[in-house]
Amino acid sequence: MIVEQIITNMEEMEKEEIIKRHIEKVYLESDHLVKRIQRVTTDHGKEIGIRLKEPRDLTAGDVLYMDDKNLIVVDVLSDDLLVIQPRSLKEMGTIAHQLGNRHLPAQFEDDVMLVQYDYLVEELLQDLQIPFKREERKVKQAFRHIGHSHE
């Protein structure tokens, strides 16, 4: 089977539509969510080719296949993350500036900033005394670098 487009996302589906179907999952590393062409295997051993026609990243919950009885859905493996919890706008600005200078992609969930684990960033957070935790956590989308130049 070759998937050329995402049908929907499970967050957009009615609960009744989900529970009446058997769900197979494709587990991807977060950095594979940006790949438009790849070969994957479901948790039931079914091989699937993904060749997306539209230029978009995959996200957790994307439905690759759906019929009356089955769903094949993208899920994301946990990443080793630093979960940064600034106590003030000043701390947020300080760490955001530092991470921006390092071109480190970040994501935000509720009141925390998520970055992929890096021992240098961990040392920086300790030096700046900004609260953080290191934890394994699933993200819904890939960490994306923003293209630019220092001209």
For residue range 32-48, what is the model confidence (pLDDT) as tens digits?
999 989 999 999 999 99
State whether 66 and 106 are in the same domain: no
Residue 150 lies in a domain: no
State whether 68 and 21 are in the same domain: yes
Which of 76, 101, 128 is at the close of a domain? Answer: 76
CATH number at residue 98: 3.30.70.790
Global pTM reads 0.75
CATH number at residue 25: 2.60.260.20
Each residue's pLDDT tens digit, 84-116: 999 999 999 999 999 988 888 888 988 899 999
Q: How many residues does the chain have?
A: 151
State whether 72 and 8 are in the same domain: yes
Residue 151 lies in a domain: no
What is the residue range of 131's domain? Answer: 79-137
- List, in order, residues 6 or more apart from 149 with CB less than 8 Å away: none
What are the φ and ψ backbone dihedral angles of 143, each rounded to 5 degrees?
-75, 120
State whether 105 and 58 are in the same domain: no
- In this prediction, residue 146 has a pLDDT band, given cuts at 50, 70 and 90, of low
More confident residue, 83 or 149: 83
State whether 49 and 11 are in the same domain: yes
What sign does the CA torsion over 116, 119, 121, 123 have?
positive
Q: Are 107 and 141 in contact (CB under 8 A)?
A: yes
Domain count, the chain: 2
* Buried/exposed code over 93-124 (b: 16+ C-beta within 10 A; e: otherwise): eebeebbeeeebeebeeeebbbbbeeeebeeb
- In this prediction, residue 149 has a pLDDT band, given cuts at 50, 70 and 90, of very low
Question: What does the block give as tokens for 10?
Answer: 């499970």
Mean pLDDT (the chain) is: 91
Residue 125 lies in a domain: yes
